[in-house]
A = this chain, B = another copy of it.
Amino acid sequence: MASTRYVIGIDFGTLSARAVLVRVSDGAEIASAVSEYSHGVIDERLPDTHIPLEVDWALQDPDDYVRALEQTIPAVLAQSGVSADDVIGLGIDFTACTMMPTKRDGTPLCRLPEWRANPHAWVKLWKHHAAQPEADRINALARERGEPWLPRYGGKISSEWFFSKALQILDEAPEVYAAADRLIEAADWIVWQLTGVETRNSCTAGYKAIWSKRDGFPSNDFFRALDARFERVVDEKMSRLITPIGTRAGGLTPDMAQRIGLRPGTPVAVANVDAHVAVPACTVTRPGSLVSIMGTSTCDMLLSDKEVMIEGMCGYTQDGIVPGYLGYEAGQSCVGDGFAWFIENAVTPPYFDEAKARGVSVHQVLESYAAQLKPGQSGLLALDWWNGNRSILVDADLSAVMVGITLATTVPEMYRAWLEATAFGRRVIIESFIKGGLEVNEIIACGGLPEKNKLLMQIYADVTGLPIKVSASAQASALGSAMFGAVAAGAAAGGYDTIEEAARHMAHLKDEVFVPSPDNKAIYDVLYAEYVRLHDYFGRDQDSVIKRLKRLKLQVA
């Protein structure tokens, strides 16, 4: 009888990487380990130097990623006592777009003494926002030329994305651009380090680098119109060979195998994006279920076999989430962050005192009071735009609003109104999907918030009218990566041949389902109509009070 098989998934986050060792047969998470990046987010000065960074910069050190592999994988093996012989596959997911310039052999430019002092030689983290001028140029030119790919991204690409960042290197450090043989996502780079094979995964290419399976990248003609030196960026520094997720990138190199304590040749999956890889880990491999990762912000993903245009979506990609389907992505730019803002900036001392006395968090105290309120009872209504609106308005200049405040308004009432605001924002996204012709029958939630705030989940159910189920895993991304590791191994090696098959065995939901209350839904339908009025009044008018306040703020700053 064959021994028990395991796979390892590694989730590369913003501040740390987490490895999870998972049993292939049932997805049981046997061990996990975290490695904090020693340089974290580099946003003030380059490591070991006085070289300052400008505002909106956010870099990382690629050697932190390698160290994370070297620390976490031996750690989960040691913790679990599992033998490397029984680890049949490895998968990774990463923040994106997190990209870097390297030499032809994969050596990061920033590792080379001659480039180490140049900020552009380092990894540009997803939240590096200094390429906004380049994003603006790309968007303006694309609009002007009527580029066919622009509608796929809701009419606008982000400063966070691949070509914005690449163009910034060319603009500001042409010598770095020239020295970079390759420009590559950190996700693909780490797989390259593991396997010795340079691959480019369909998920980051599709969502972050304007690639589509049918049309490829934007034309060289378009790139030339941006800058003559940029014409052949794809051919010279990237690759037109995009590997669909769910395939094997290669096997572990002997060198890397030794460094991380696994067998040489252990199959490694092509890389994935941290959000998207959570979808199969939430059991979802087919249309109809909206997967929502709920944390500081919220990311919503939906599969479909139909190609449709959805207002305000972040983008869609063939094979971007699960092979064989188009993967649609939308999101709310601020959810948990907004609640944290409220706690830090609007909650009075008695609630802190009570939390201390009860030995619980302030959130829990407020949740217990807010849960006693009926929908509509406070007379409050809010717009959840603390950090702009990602979907469906795609506008970073929007800000949050609260309406209905009276002398009788209480802290728990305001807390609940903010929770409800994010629920209404969620419903706008869902209705946009449905209006575009996609099916949404349920929400599968994962991330930190579903664990922490049951009231929030119930409000989401009541506002959307959809049942909400919650992933059984508290680390859905790492589990998803492990599942792709099992697929990279394949059934013959004790894994699975498809991600659907892996999901069937390895992904689980909690028993608890948040079922909409028809009574609450009826009241929320009324409130939602008012939310939409405010949403359109403040959000769709380019000259709305909010937009003008933002302009004035910039003027007087």
Contacts and interface: CB of A to CB of B under 8 A. Distances in A.
A404 B530 contact: no
Interface stretch (A229-237, A277-285, A460-468, A531-539): A531-539
A341 interface: yes
Given A349-B349, A556-B374, A406 B387 contact: yes
A49 interface: no
A246 interface: no
Interface in A61-83: none
Contacts of A546: 403-404
Given A348-B345, A348-B347, A556-B377, A407 B338 contact: yes
A161 to B, nearest CB: 22
A556 B523 contact: yes
Contacts of A344: 348
B530 A549 contact: yes
A545 B533 contact: yes
Nearest to A384: B405
A544 to B, nearest CB: 9
A353 to B, nearest CB: 9
Contacts of A552: 376, 379, 523, 526-527
Interface stretch (A118-126, A164-172, A394-402): A394-402
Interface residues of A, number: 52
A386 interface: yes
Interface string A328-348: 000000100110010011111
Contacts of A557: 377
Nearest to A400: B405
A386 B404 CA distance: 8
Interface in A396-442: 399-407, 409-411, 414
A410 B345 contact: yes
A59 interface: no
A338 to B, nearest CB: 7
A548 interface: yes
Contacts of A407: 334, 337-338, 341, 386-387
Interface in A374-391: 374-381, 386-387
Contacts of A348: 344-349
A50 interface: no
Given A403-B546, A404-B546, A376 B553 contact: yes
Nearest to A523: B556
A538 B381 CA distance: 13
Contact of A401 (B405, B553, B555): B405
Q: Which among A379, A402, A526, A555 has the greatest number of chain B C-beta atoms within 10 A? A: A379
Contacts of A527: 549, 552
A306 interface: no
Nearest to A382: B405
Given A375-B556, A401-B401, A406-B387, A411 B549 contact: no
Q: Which among A405, A530, A533, A546 has the greatest number of chain B C-beta atoms within 10 A? A: A405
A303 B82 CA distance: 90
A352 interface: yes
Given A348-B344, A352-B349, A545-B530, A556 B376 contact: yes
Nearest to A519: B556
A102 to B, nearest CB: 34
Contacts of A347: 348
A550 interface: yes
A276 to B, nearest CB: 25
A399 B349 CA distance: 25
Contacts of A523: 552, 556
Nearest to A343: B348
A381 B545 contact: yes
Nearest to A333: B407
Q: Which among A337, A387, A402, A407 has the greatest number of chain B C-beta atoms within 10 A? A: A407
Nearest to A337: B407
A403 B401 contact: yes
A545 B403 contact: yes
Interface string A281-315: 00000000000000000000000000000000000
Interface string A356-378: 00000000000000000011111
Contacts of A534: 545
Interface string A75-98: 000000000000000000000000
A477 to B, nearest CB: 24
3 nearest CB pairs, A to B: A400-B405, A379-B553, A376-B556
25 contacts: A334-B407, A337-B407, A338-B407, A344-B348, A345-B348, A345-B411, A346-B411, A376-B553, A376-B556, A378-B553, A379-B552, A381-B549, A386-B405, A386-B407, A399-B403, A399-B404, A401-B401, A403-B538, A403-B546, A403-B549, A404-B549, A526-B548, A526-B552, A527-B552, A537-B537
Given A334-B407, A341-B409, A401-B404, 9 more contacts: A337-B407, A345-B411, A345-B414, A375-B556, A376-B556, A381-B545, A386-B405, A402-B402, A523-B552
